[in-house]
């Protein structure tokens, strides 16, 4: 499994070092379903600001993973309960 990230930075205001950033994560196990995270407007003048944007993207990624896990757990529980209930009626 290889993960790749592609960042596209679009300048908004070069005088203030503001840009929008689109980060796309692609997993080699599912290359047809990349995930994209966007920061609409961010200052990028200092290393601290640049790191803060990457932290924001990473936080969005972790939140998406958490949401996906919650949905999968919900579906798995319902499937199990449904299977048990329907088989008990047989």
Tens-digit pLDDT profile for residues 12-35: 999 999 999 999 999 999 999 999
Left if phi > 0, otherwise alpha if psi is -120 to 50, otherwise beta: which for 17?
Answer: left
What's this model's pTM, rounded to 2 decimal places? 0.81
Asked whether the beta carbons of 42 and 19 are under 8 A apart, the reply is yes
Asked whether the beta carbons of 61 and 25 are under 8 A apart, the reply is yes
pLDDT at 69: 93
Q: Which two tokens stand for residue 36?
A: 């994209």
Please say if the pLDDT value at position 1 is more than 90: no
Q: Point out the least confidently predicted range of 23-27, 34-38, 44-48, 76-80.
A: 76-80
Exposure b/e, 47-81, CB count within 10 A at least 16 = b: eeeeeebeeebeebeeeeeeeeeeeeeeeeeeeee
């Amino acid at each position: 499994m290889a993960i790749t990230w592609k960042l596209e930075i679009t300048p908004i205001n070069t005088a203030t070092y503001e840009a929008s950033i689109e980060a796309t994560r692609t997993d080699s196990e599912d290359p047809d379903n990349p995930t994209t995270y966007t920061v609409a407007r961010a200052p990028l003048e200092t290393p601290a600001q640049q790191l803060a944007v990457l932290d924001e993207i990473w936080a969005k990624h972790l939140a998406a993973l958490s949401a996906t896990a919650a949905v999968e757990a919900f579906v798995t529980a319902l499937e199990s309960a449904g299977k048990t209930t329907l088989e008990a009626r047989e």
